[in-house]
Amino acid sequence: MGMGMGTMMGTRMRMRSMMRRPRTGRAITNVVHAGIVIAAALVAAAWTGARADAAPADAIAKFANVAHSADSADSASIADITAADQAVRPQAWLPIGLHGGDFGPPPVAVTLTPSPTATASPNLTGTATNDAPTSTPTTAATPTATPRSGYSEPLTDRPSLDDLKTGYSAARWYETMLEILRRRYPTGHHIVTQLDDSKGKATLWTSGRTGTFDDLVRSMELAVHEMNHQLGFQEGFIPTIGKKHFYEVRADLRVTVDVVPTYARSEIAQFITGPLENQYKSTYLTGQSGTQGFFNLLDEFNAYTHSMFTGYGLHDLFPPNQRVSHRDGLVTMMLYVELYLRQARTKHPADYAALRADPAVRDLVKLLWDRANFILDETEDIRGLALNAAAVEAEMRKAELWGEVERYVAP
């Protein structure tokens, strides 16, 4: 991908604020022991691109007055944004609840300080449809070959971490985490270190699971994923008062695009049936999270791609009988993008036209799509990075759905 895709961000104003995102259904299992334990928790927050009716009208009106009267980030009152948000969503849940396997504690309530309210926008209510899935998937589905873009980027050769493991000190877990990322996923290192109050936010997402080197390694994918969301908030939402969305794609490639209102992604839940239904449906397509639109869906898509790259860099450190759901999450987000674009094209032509009208958004989708397929190809034979991804991946790779992305990104 050329550097002309989207608006490439350099150094932007740093405004100290912490954000926790509507977050992931995650699963991890020890194959030797029966059962899949799923960590799934939802932060009740509607983000940029969500419909205005996702929050109480008085809070939205207050936020709208702040956002629409501002000529620049400096002219808006962050205190007003915070106050509006506190009137809507005072709490979130820390998204780790893996019981068993010594992975972590159950969810703990935490307070948001601050996070954005839904961006005020025209209320384009989604139209209910009775569309059926493209076809009936089967549990024995096998992904078919799909076109490749030629995208590539350097991957870690997994240099030894023996020195870090042998000399591990829990008191220096943060420094160790940064060095692991530097060696194994430099873009993850960039995400973590570019975030204001980096250690404080890493402390939140590692959730005390830093007592041993192995504990730290198991917590790192979640930290990278969530801190990527927070970096997007820091670099995009705050400086522009919700008018732009920021995506950290690689350490050398950051993209910012203008936000336009789009329909609630909960509409595509009707297509997620049978073997396509996994833990991600309830996390991302229902409740407050389901009210969010296309730009937040792309944000999750990008975050799960970072999860997969992190897993690629660290999987050799996992116990041999352990499997995680990184591939499941990524192919699920890709399927959601396809279904969202199809629903927009067929049921929300105004939304689809607005998204198609911005070449930067089309370029971003192509970039995220190509990068995701690159890491899926590179990890195809790493069984430990998937649980039950086959049926969803097979559906995602069907020509009629794959074609929705090709149609959308075409000039």
Query: Per-residue confidence at 76, pLDDT binned at 50, 70, 90?
Result: very low
Query: Per-residue confidence at 27, pLDDT binned at 50, 70, 90?
Result: low
Cα 9 from chain centroid? 19
Q: Cα separation of 291 and 293, whole Å? A: 7
pLDDT at position 266 = 98
CA gyration radius, the chain: 20
Q: Is the residue at 206 inside a domain? A: yes
Taking the CA atoms of 95, 101, 104 and 107 in sequence, report the sign of the dihedral they define.
positive
Q: Is the residue at 13 inside a domain? A: yes
Kindly report, residue by residue over 354-398, the tens digit of the pLDDT: 999 999 999 999 999 999 999 999 999 999 999 999 999 999 999
Q: Is the residue at 127 inside a domain? A: no
Given phi > 0 = left and psi -120 to 50 = alpha, else beta, which region is 28?
beta
Domain count within the chain? 1
Q: Is the predicted pLDDT of residue 257 greater than 60, yes or no?
A: yes
Supply the range of the domain harboring residue 195: 7-120+157-409
Kindly report, residue by residue over 129-160, the tens digit of the pLDDT: 333 333 333 333 444 445 567 899 999 999 99
Q: Is the residue at 309 inside a domain? A: yes
pLDDT at position 150 = 87
Q: Is the residue at 103 inside a domain? A: yes
Secondary structure of the chain in the HEC alphabet? CCCCCCEECCCCCCCCCCCCCCCCEEEEEECCCCCCEEEECCCCCCCCCCCHHHCCHHHHHHHHHHHHHCCCHHHCCHHHHHHHHHCCCCEEECCCCCCCCCCCCCCCEEECCCCCCCCCCCCCCCCCCCCCCCCCCCCCCCCCCCCCCCCCCCCCCCCCCHHHHHCCCHHHHHHHHHHHHHHHCHHHHHHHHHCCCHHHHHHHHHCCCCCCHHHHHHHHHHHHHHHHHHHHHHHHHHHHCCCEEEEEEECCEEEEEECCCCCCHHHHHHHCCHHHCCHHHHHHCCHHHHCCCHHHHHHHHHHHHHHHHHHHHHHHHCCCCEEECHHHHHHHHHHHHHHHHHHHHHHCHHHHHHHHCCHHHHHHHHHHHHHHHHHHHHCCCCHHHCCCCHHHHHHHCCHHHHHHHHHHHCC
Kindly report, residue by residue over 236-248, the tens digit of the pLDDT: 999 999 999 999 9
Q: Is the predicted pLDDT of residue 191 greater than 90, yes or no?
A: yes
Q: Is the residue at 255 inside a domain? A: yes
Query: How many other β-carbons are positioned within 10 Å of the β-carbon of residue 406?
Result: 12
